[in-house]
Chains A and B, each alone.
Chain A
């Protein structure tokens, strides 16, 4: 039995290896030289020359190798045929396979800390190539607009009345997210959501003598981090958010209706559907040194 498994694994391994070499037999092609490229693509060349890629001082930069052809591949045939988009040249156009485009960039940038985790990231899995966000020849991509190109519903959330100051330009998507791949959930720059949030909100880190479990486990239980209609980025309005967990006997389980608001009869306001509702008393909701009810 063991021998059969060994034979099977060997055959499988050899088959996979053979398959992996398919398509690698590239014909030896000739290079045209950067000056030839510049002749037709002067605008692109100008941007290349100004960029880090065009710096001779950067070891292994395209400027120190084959210039434009470091990324686009040998161009003599392309030039000989009179050019044309994708004619005998590797073009980073929409028609090219994302993984092929990414592999061009990773040939150099894969050996950096920056892209060491690209293989495990969601963007790689979803077939996002580098040129989806980076314009190599043009102006730098600007956050958050470049992110909204795909994450349109995040833009919707970000425009809501309660939001982090992203559209005001005070923080960026990349302050929280590592778009090039990370071990953390939702591509955040931390091993857990709480670790991430506590970097800026260290006052909520505790450890507190009296912990509110959601705070210690996952801020997203209560907060809609990209934007919400409800103050303090809450997923639901207080008191309904609180009542999604606290349904027990007494005031947590009683209805908090419009009848209990400032507009209701004064005698009926006892369920405190007014002002900040539960938070009028339970102000230390992220943790307290004095009270398990977070009211001190």
Chain B
């Protein structure tokens, strides 16, 4: 029904332009239909991975695409549509009066397939109530697909009729339906794990209105944004489930995202000043609210405020300067009735985060001789957090219950760019971050996101254009962070990333292009516990290596008649985790009986290879009619020690007890696609 409404709206939008069609105008368009035969060699996980954001059904189908462009002296109208009837279908109509107004209307669907043929011993996957008995006979379990789809539709309007005044409005609705994986503890604490199908039935409406004035030297704008989110299911109810040890007590609920609304108002302004300077400001206020009756009642309310002031100036041709101050505050004003009195002390029964950031700095850029551009600056950022954890006394929130530190960040950066040679650009840049903690709890184990650190980032790029038809690009980025105050936690984090590309046009015969990318991401979490006799001191180095390249060509075998397209991409990721554990502690009491230094290491940590190639021939019978024929192959080989040898029920009781559903298992696939189609242009 909604699709019919959408099409009707599109047609109605064309009516005001009927007059325009009598005007001398340029009309052009394209219609194409491509038939695809698809063969996928994969289990449910791989089939879903192959079609993660695509709708490529087994054995294929006919995929249509259309485009219409109408362009007159005063009016314009464009229509685009693709994948009619598929889960990836997309329609967009935009039009307007040149220089007066523009609008667009759109509808699109975005699938997200996670795992097909997942299993659960419970009845009611996809609904908000699960019943039935837990059992270990997986063959008898119900199957379902972890998959959801977004349907988005809406429109935008931009009015410039009364220049220099402007008005923009947009509305978008998104409906999301499907199932995604979630998990809960059957009993808390220490219960067995239950991986469960979570029903997704959301609706989100976003409305944005903005109006203002834009004429030098002044820019003023007022913006209002409203968003509401509605979830058809407030909880996933497991009250009727039997067969678990220990048994769960009814009602056993998994809370689902609560309905919420969000309102934001903002003012943006800018004024040009003498000496080629400009002062810009942005003032915003937002309030987010939610409510749920699961606790039994909770009224959530969060307010945010931000004030930004920026002064930029280029008083002389060789100098650019910027000074700024930015302030952001988040205040959680949610129902603080969630308190209890234990032993005569008021304690927090819900976690709330308040924080504020204040950020100021300056930046200068110098245009030097030989087309050198030197840019550098400094910024200082403080982030003050207040997070009171459940069970803490509320009488002294700044000290007793405070478990997140606050931070002071000092950042220095510099960058040099050289463009003296017309055939080459070179850039080098460096950034240093020093992060300190304050108002921090005294402890040796740290949370990496808030821990003190020294971080260096170095980057360089070279772009070379030795010939008119040849370009080469190279980029290298290195980042290293030392969490120097951390004894237990993440102590080091290093990453190197390289990207390069080349493009070459061989006259009018061919275009060749390619890229080689290499990334090494290396983390060194260093965790240990010695206080608790149940814990084992350990150390782990996690490494991820990624290597990728791509090659492509377009060969114009018969100019304007026959073109061959070839594309090949390869990406390999190799991850491992190297543990160091004292051999004397590899004992049963620590859950490591029989383990050795070799058997604890993780050799396959999301290892995968993505290999694909596509060949395609396009033959143009006339300027209007063309045919294409091609073949594509894609292979994804995935190996991960966390999912290899998958077992749906590792144990029915105890700390390794779990009833799993198969989410993300067996993601490897091989797929062959043969395609051919016709395109008619007018």
Bound Cα distance from A153 to B654, whole angstroms: 45
- Whether A183 contacts B282 by the Cβ 8 Å rule is yes
Bound Cα distance from A230 to B531, whole angstroms: 32
Bound Cα distance from A150 to B527, whole angstroms: 38
B residues contacting the other copy or chain, number (CB 8 A):
193
Bound Cα distance from A153 to B457, whole angstroms: 14
Decide if A240 is an interface residue (CB 8 Å cutoff). Answer: yes
Which of chain B's residues 249-282 have a Cβ closer than 8 Å to chain A? 252-255, 257-258, 260, 262, 264, 266, 268, 270, 274-276, 278, 280, 282
Decide if B449 is an interface residue (CB 8 Å cutoff). Answer: yes
In the complex, how many angstroms separate the beta carbon of B90 from the nearest chain A beta carbon?
8
Decide if A117 is an interface residue (CB 8 Å cutoff). Answer: yes
- Whether A119 contacts B280 by the Cβ 8 Å rule is yes
Q: How many A-B contacts if CB must be within 8 Å?
A: 456
Out of B195, B294, B390, B473, which one reaches A149, CB within 8 Å? B473
- Whether B351 contacts A296 by the Cβ 8 Å rule is no
- Whether A255 contacts B255 by the Cβ 8 Å rule is no
- Whether B461 contacts A150 by the Cβ 8 Å rule is yes
Bound Cα distance from A102 to B658, whole angstroms: 61
- Whether B592 contacts A268 by the Cβ 8 Å rule is yes
Bound Cα distance from A157 to B651, whole angstroms: 37
Given the interface pairs A255-B538, A258-B602, the reply to whether A229 lies near B656 with Cβ below 8 Å is no
Given the interface pairs A272-B658, A295-B184, the reply to whether A210 lies near B270 with Cβ below 8 Å is no
- Whether B488 contacts A255 by the Cβ 8 Å rule is no
User: Nearest chain-B residue to A279 (Cβ)?
Assistant: B183
- Whether B548 contacts A55 by the Cβ 8 Å rule is no
Query: B499 — which chain A residues lie within 8 A by C-beta?
Result: 152-153, 155-156
- Whether A57 contacts B74 by the Cβ 8 Å rule is yes
Decide if B121 is an interface residue (CB 8 Å cutoff). Answer: no
- Whether B284 contacts A236 by the Cβ 8 Å rule is no
User: Nearest chain-A residue to B569 (Cβ)?
Assistant: A159
Q: Which of A25-33, A35-43, A73-81, A197-205 contacts B (4 or more CB under 8 A)?
A: A197-205
Out of B181, B221, B523, which one reaches A116, CB within 8 Å? B221
Query: A116 — which chain B residues lie within 8 A by C-beta?
Result: 214, 219, 221, 268, 270, 280
- Whether A281 contacts B184 by the Cβ 8 Å rule is yes
- Whether B183 contacts A156 by the Cβ 8 Å rule is no
Bound Cα distance from A50 to B71, whole angstroms: 9
Decide if B455 is an interface residue (CB 8 Å cutoff). Answer: no
Main secondary structure of the interface of B (DSSP, over half): strand
Decide if B601 is an interface residue (CB 8 Å cutoff). Answer: yes
Decide if B542 is an interface residue (CB 8 Å cutoff). Answer: yes
Decide if A195 is an interface residue (CB 8 Å cutoff). Answer: yes
- Whether A55 contacts B229 by the Cβ 8 Å rule is no
User: Nearest chain-A residue to B610 (Cβ)?
Assistant: A161
Which of chain B's residues 210-247 have a Cβ closer than 8 Å to chain A? 210, 212, 214-216, 219, 221, 227, 229, 231, 235
In the complex, how many angstroms separate the beta carbon of B503 from the nearest chain A beta carbon?
10
User: Nearest chain-A residue to B225 (Cβ)?
Assistant: A199
Out of A245, A257, A281, A296, which one reaches B601, CB within 8 Å? A257
Query: B592 — which chain A residues lie within 8 A by C-beta?
Result: 257, 259, 268
Bound Cα distance from A56 to B138, whole angstroms: 71
- Whether A292 contacts B498 by the Cβ 8 Å rule is no
Interface string of B6-31 (1 = CB under 8 A from A): 00000000000000000000100000
- Whether B73 contacts A57 by the Cβ 8 Å rule is yes
Which of chain A's residues 167-195 have a Cβ closer than 8 Å to chain B? 168, 170-171, 183, 191-192, 195
Decide if A72 is an interface residue (CB 8 Å cutoff). Answer: no
Decide if B182 is an interface residue (CB 8 Å cutoff). Answer: yes
Decide if A34 is an interface residue (CB 8 Å cutoff). Answer: no
Interface string of A247-269 (1 = CB under 8 A from B): 11111011101111111111111
- Whether B542 contacts A236 by the Cβ 8 Å rule is yes
- Whether A245 contacts B185 by the Cβ 8 Å rule is no
Bound Cα distance from A260 to B229, whole angstroms: 40
User: Nearest chain-B residue to A210 (Cβ)?
Assistant: B351
- Whether A55 contacts B99 by the Cβ 8 Å rule is yes
- Whether A159 contacts B517 by the Cβ 8 Å rule is yes
In the complex, how many angstroms separate the beta carbon of A122 from the nearest chain B beta carbon?
10
Which of chain A's residues 199-252 have a Cβ closer than 8 Å to chain B? 199-200, 202-211, 213-214, 216-218, 221, 229-231, 236-237, 240, 243-251
Out of B71, B73, B212, B646, which one reaches A56, CB within 8 Å? B73
In the complex, how many angstroms separate the beta carbon of A170 from the nearest chain B beta carbon?
5
- Whether A208 contacts B591 by the Cβ 8 Å rule is no
Decide if A82 is an interface residue (CB 8 Å cutoff). Answer: no
- Whether A113 contacts B73 by the Cβ 8 Å rule is no
Given the interface pairs A111-B214, A209-B292, the reply to whether A192 lies near B328 with Cβ below 8 Å is yes
Query: B473 — which chain A residues lie within 8 A by C-beta?
Result: 149, 152
User: Nearest chain-A residue to B501 (Cβ)?
Assistant: A152
Interface string of B608-626 (1 = CB under 8 A from A): 1010000000000000000
Interface string of B523-535 (1 = CB under 8 A from A): 1010101011011
Query: A199 — which chain B residues lie within 8 A by C-beta?
Result: 206, 227
- Whether A268 contacts B595 by the Cβ 8 Å rule is yes
In the complex, how many angstroms separate the beta carbon of B325 from the nearest chain A beta carbon?
11
Bound Cα distance from A111 to B213, whole angstroms: 9
- Whether B540 contacts A255 by the Cβ 8 Å rule is yes
Which of chain B's residues 378-431 have a Cβ closer than 8 Å to chain A? 385, 387, 389-390, 404, 415, 417, 419, 422-423
- Whether B290 contacts A206 by the Cβ 8 Å rule is yes
- Whether A296 contacts B328 by the Cβ 8 Å rule is no
Bound Cα distance from A152 to B594, whole angstroms: 47
In the complex, how many angstroms separate the beta carbon of B254 from the nearest chain A beta carbon?
6
Decide if B445 is an interface residue (CB 8 Å cutoff). Answer: yes
Bound Cα distance from A213 to B448, whole angstroms: 13
Interface string of B471-487 (1 = CB under 8 A from A): 00111010000000000
- Whether B189 contacts A293 by the Cβ 8 Å rule is yes
Decide if B193 is an interface residue (CB 8 Å cutoff). Answer: yes
Out of A61, A200, A261, which one reaches B642, CB within 8 Å? A261
Query: A281 — which chain B residues lie within 8 A by C-beta?
Result: 183-185, 191, 193-194
- Whether A156 contacts B184 by the Cβ 8 Å rule is no
Q: Which of B127-135, B573-581, B671-679 contacts A (4 or more CB under 8 A)?
A: B573-581
Query: A52 — which chain B residues lie within 8 A by C-beta?
Result: 98
- Whether A19 contacts B316 by the Cβ 8 Å rule is yes
Query: A127 — which chain B residues lie within 8 A by C-beta?
Result: 373, 417, 419
Query: A283 — which chain B residues lie within 8 A by C-beta?
Result: 181-184, 195-196, 198, 254
- Whether B254 contacts A296 by the Cβ 8 Å rule is yes
Q: Which of B36-44, B302-310, B558-566 contacts A (4 or more CB under 8 A)?
A: B302-310
Query: B100 — which chain A residues lie within 8 A by C-beta?
Result: 57
- Whether A247 contacts B488 by the Cβ 8 Å rule is yes
- Whether B654 contacts A270 by the Cβ 8 Å rule is yes
Query: B544 — which chain A residues lie within 8 A by C-beta?
Result: 229
Decide if A284 is an interface residue (CB 8 Å cutoff). Answer: yes
Decide if A70 is an interface residue (CB 8 Å cutoff). Answer: no
Query: A192 — which chain B residues lie within 8 A by C-beta?
Result: 304, 306, 328
Given contact pairs A263-B641, A264-B595, A286-B257, a sample of 17 additional A-B residue pairs in the complex whose CB atoms are under 8 Å apart = A13-B275, A99-B314, A117-B270, A127-B419, A160-B573, A183-B268, A206-B290, A207-B301, A209-B338, A245-B449, A258-B641, A260-B591, A261-B642, A266-B651, A270-B656, A287-B257, A289-B295
Instruction: Give the 8 A-B CB pairs with smallest separation, nearest first.
Output: A152-B499, A207-B300, A283-B182, A283-B183, A289-B255, A58-B99, A245-B447, A280-B193
Residue contacts A-B, CB under 8 angstroms, 15 given: A23-B317, A50-B26, A56-B73, A157-B519, A161-B606, A191-B284, A205-B229, A206-B258, A213-B387, A248-B445, A254-B529, A262-B642, A268-B595, A289-B292, A296-B184
